[in-house]
Amino acid sequence: MRRRILDLALKAGSSGAHLGGSLSLVEILATLYSVANVSTDEIRDRIILSKGHGALALYTALERYGLVPSEEVDTFESNGTHLYAHASRNIANGIEFSGGSLGLGVSFSVGVAIACKEKGLQNRVYVIVGDGECNEGIFWESVMAINQYKLDNITLIVDNNGMQADGPTNEIIDLSPMAEKLSAFGLDVVTVNGHDAESVYNAIEKGYNGKPIAIVANTVKGKGVSFMENVAGWHHGVLNQKRYDKAIEELV
């Protein structure tokens, strides 16, 4: 998936791509799609990427798990594509939410979870946010609603990579300790290494006590590429052939 992210970013040319936050998501999405019931049926699990800047990673996961054909993924950021820098809702391709405005995916997931409960569906709603996104007030309003409505069918996953577009999150609005804050809002919280697929899997599958679930996944922005790791400038950037070759060499 990381190699595919780099391939697509190179193809995007001067349009560039949101690389840093996509690379930090790889193990989270790969594990989630391996365990979730993904289909177009109403009983499906919902995977909602509120962290809209991670769309490129989402496309590689959808491709890997057979929801979007490779030839469509190849059109990323090209004329006439429906696979933009921020995902556009397309249930047939497994895209549950139109990302971009940060925080809205969490509020959307509240409505989805309530609707699924009212219909008696035994599915789960997984919503993925970035730690920078958690600066948004609507995020905390939504977390309060998750607790208020006892939405134990929600799993909130925080891609806690410590960076956002403007720099380190702890220098912009410091939300640490994230786990304790989410716990204070009534969620059952577990903290994991977000690049350890087994730890992510165990957290997703862990039994909980009838409470909404939050997984704080500690990750590295730009994971796997030395010149991108923990560099705010690679939140969005242009990948030329020279940089691509260096990045691929490091992944191998």
The whole-number average pLDDT for the span 183-206 is: 96
DSSP per-residue codes, 233-251:
GGSSB---HHHHHHHHHHH
Among the listed residues 11, 22, 40, 28, the one whose alpha carbon sits nearest the alpha carbon of residue 99:
22
Mean pLDDT value across the chain: 96
Can you read off the two tokens belonging to residue 107?
Answer: 């509020």
pTM above the 0.85 mark?
Answer: yes
- In single-letter form, the type of residue at position 223 comes to K
pLDDT score of 20 more than 90? yes
The whole-number average pLDDT for the span 107-121 is: 97
Based on DSSP, count helices (H) and strands (E) in the chain, helices before strands.
11, 7
Question: Residue 66 has what pLDDT?
Answer: 94
Instruction: Tell me if residue 207 falls in helix, strand or coil.
Output: coil
Is residue 29 within 8 A of residue 61, CB to CB? The reply is yes
Is residue 124 within 8 A of residue 153, CB to CB? The reply is yes
pLDDT score of 207 more than 80? no
Render the burial of 60-77: b for 16+ CB within 10 Å, e for the rest: bbbbbbebbeeeebeebb
Give the model confidence (pLDDT) of 72-81 as tens digits: 999 999 999 9
pLDDT score of 220 more than 80? yes
DSSP E strands in the chain: the ranges are 46-49, 125-130, 154-160, 163-164, 167-168, 188-193, 213-218
pLDDT score of 209 more than 80? no
Give the chain's domains with CATH numbers: 2-251 (3.40.50.970)
- CA dist 27 and 61 (Å) reads 10
pLDDT score of 252 more than 80? no
Question: Residue 95 has what pLDDT?
Answer: 96
Give the model confidence (pLDDT) of 51-97 as tens digits: 999 999 999 999 999 999 999 999 999 999 999 999 999 999 999 99
Render the burial of 191-203: b for 16+ CB within 10 Å, e for the rest: bbebbeeebbbeb
Instruction: Tell me if residue 69 falls in helix, strand or coil.
Output: coil
pLDDT score of 208 more than 80? no
